[in-house]
Amino acid sequence: MFKCLDLLKGFEYECTKGNVGVEVSEVVNDSRKITKDCLFICIAGTNFDGHNAAAQAVKNGAAVLVIEHEVDIPQDADVTIIKVKDSRYAMAFISANYFGNPAESMKIIGVTGTKGKTTTAYLVKNILENAGFKVGLIGTIETIIGDKVIPSINTTPESFTLQKYFSQMKEAGCDVVVMEASSQGFKLHRTQGFIFDYGIFTNLEPDHIGPNEHESFEEYLECKAMLFKQCRVGIVNRDDKHWKQIVNGHTCELETYGFDRESDICASDLKMITGAGYLGIDFKVSGLVNMEIETDMPGIFSAYNALTAIAICRHFGVNEEGIKKALAAAKVKGRIEMVKVSDDFTLIIDYAHNAMALESLLTTLKEYSPNRLVCLFGCGGNRSKLRRYEMGEVSGNLADLTIITSDNPRFEEPQDIIDDIKIGIAKTQGRYVEICDRKEAIRYAINNGQKGDIIVLAGKGHEDYQEIQGVKYPMDERILISDILKENKM
């Protein structure tokens, strides 16, 4: 049992009924899981307001209700009421207290930015583990706790889930946690209740603006900036034009990295490397760290990701050889992931699933002067048609050949989505073919690959399914490629 008072540390509240000395059995934030003597946090969600379950919670024997507005319960109900300004904010602290504040026993690294969060998190994990640390990871693709892998629903989980993961990582003997810190995570107070030891900003571009996300770019920026009021050391990409706004009002120590010569950790002499079926980069690092880096991850954004990881890992005493070795071997599923199929051309799987990400990827790959740049992609069903037009136009302008195929059609007809993409391509002079079946589209790309081509399979990335009519069918592009290569030999 827990004393209610002990769970209420770290935030302001008012006890409007009962007393804070009452004991509670557990903390619950899901109205379907209310148990006798629990503390139930009423959360006003997008689809359901937990305050509407208050009467049922009392009936089921909840000992404490945490509310942010009045609830309809019997006047004689034997329950303690804790009134707070924001129940999500309160939940973060209650959850941390409930799980014994596990973040205090580990070094917590938070990575925020529009792009690069996932790759940076995995690079940091690889480098630190090679140096002997035990590292937990929380991000867009998955949460990794020792040998346990949990597929992710949100990039940054709800605060209760986040604290539960921290607790499990502590029990598993983790020294460090590296996590992606999303703007939504900050907006919904998922990252309150603890302090990041290191906060990292990669870059900022307009994204996640619209219904149920951010009202404006300004709000999006302000949410990202919250990290630097919640960390001890801030590490910032000085090349990003928004970096000064991001650190405005910061309460942490600051370090910068980038190609800007004023950066504390400065990259220079970037070279593009090509080989038999692979692409890479080479660059020099000077300032707080001095070394030369070579890695099989292509493009300038890979240099930024590597530089970010270096800026973080130097705080953990990782030596130059350890960093270089880990970066040379680094692979991140679905993020400019090269799959070897031929010495003649390069095949890449990437998660780019909107126009901004696709344009960045294709522009970078064109710097390698391929014989042809071939882009295979589709668009998700039950999503904005504008995204389809934009992606079609981007690929039409930048790729020498576009192969339009299916992605996750969901409840739409795949051909209808393809027809929308073609509207965007029609604004360009770009050549294209359409092959609805994604496996057959990939087969076409491989079988028609020419010497010096770069072929990009965009949109699915790390996903290992295809969603059709509400059902997720197994579909991993790596397996499709392997099957195609075997079938070609038969």
Tokens 């925020």 appear where?
A: 112
How many angstroms separate the CA atoms of 301 and 369, rounded? 17
Position 210, amino acid: G
End-to-end CA distance of the chain: 65
- Split the chain (490 residues) into runs of 10 and give each run's mean pLDDT: 96 96 96 95 88 94 95 91 97 98 98 91 95 96 96 93 98 98 91 98 72 70 93 97 95 98 97 90 96 92 94 94 87 91 96 92 95 97 93 98 97 97 98 98 98 97 94 97 93
341 shares a domain with 318: no
Q: Are residues 50 and 120 in the same domain?
A: no
Are 267 and 354 within one domain?
no
CATH of the domain at 22: 3.40.1390.10
List residues bridging with 81 in a β-sheet.
Answer: 17, 65
Q: Three-state DSSP class for 361?
A: helix
**What is the predicted pLDDT for the residue at 218?**
82
15 and 28 belong to one structural domain: yes
CA atoms within 13 A on the CB side of 300: 14
pLDDT score at 479: 98
Query: 352 and 458 in contact (C-beta within 8 Å)?
Result: yes
Structure confidence at residue 279 (pLDDT):
93
Buried b (16+ CB within 10 A) or exposed e, 468-489: beeeeeebbbeebbeebeeeee
Residues 380, 238, single domain; the answer is no
233 and 374 housed in the same domain: no
Question: In whole angstroms, what separates CA 235 from the centre of its chain?
Answer: 18
Are 288 and 359 in the same domain? no
Same domain (yes/no): 354, 322: no
Q: Which residue has the tokens 């990290």?
A: 227
Q: By C-alpha distance, which of 341, 334, 339 is closest to 357?
A: 334
User: Residues 324, 342: one domain?
Assistant: no
For position 61, what pLDDT does the model report?
94
Nearest Cα neighbor of 183 from 151, 207, 159, 153 is: 207
278's CB contacts (< 8 A; 6+ apart) are: 296, 338, 340, 346
CA atoms within 13 A on the CB side of 317: 2
Residue 199 shares a structural domain with residue 167: yes
For 183-195, b/e burial (b = at least 16 CB within 10 A) is: bbbbbbbbbbbbb
Query: What CA–CA distance (Å, rounded) separates 314 from 68?
Result: 43
Tokens of 160: 């209760």
CA distances from 263 to 13, 216, 283, 309, 364 (A): 43, 30, 15, 15, 23
The per-residue pLDDT for 211 is 53
Q: What are the C-alpha distances in Å from 159 to residues 142, 146, 166, 169, 184?
A: 16, 21, 10, 15, 12
Non-local (6+) Cβ contacts of 417 within 8 A are: 378, 379, 380, 381, 388, 406, 407, 409
Domain-ending residue, one of 78, 98, 118: 98
pLDDT of the residue at 381: 95
Residues 99, 163: contact at Cβ < 8 Å? yes
Beta strand pairing call for 373-377 and 401-404: parallel
Q: Which amino acid is at 332?
A: V
Domain boundary, last residue among 98, 120, 155: 98
| Cβ atoms 265, 285 nearer than 8 A | yes
CATH number at residue 258: 3.40.1190.10
Q: Dihedral, CA atoms, 366, 368, 370, 375, nearest 10 degrees?
A: -40
Q: What is the pLDDT of residue 215?
A: 64
Question: What is the 3-state composition of the chain as percent helix, strand, coil, each rounded to the nearest 5?
Answer: 35, 25, 40
Q: Which residue(s) pair with 145 in the sheet?
A: 148
pLDDT the model gives residue 216: 77
Structure tokens at 259: 């190609």
In whole angstroms, what is the distance from residue 481 CA to residue 226 CA?
A: 42
> Could you list the residue range(s) of the whole structural domain that residue 409 is in?
337-489
Distance of CA 12 to the CA centre of its chain: 31
- Please state the length of the chain: 490
Domain end call among 72, 98, 124: 98
- Split into its structural domains, the chain has a count of 3
pTM for the structure as a whole? 0.90
Helix (H) or strand (E) holding 403: strand 401-404
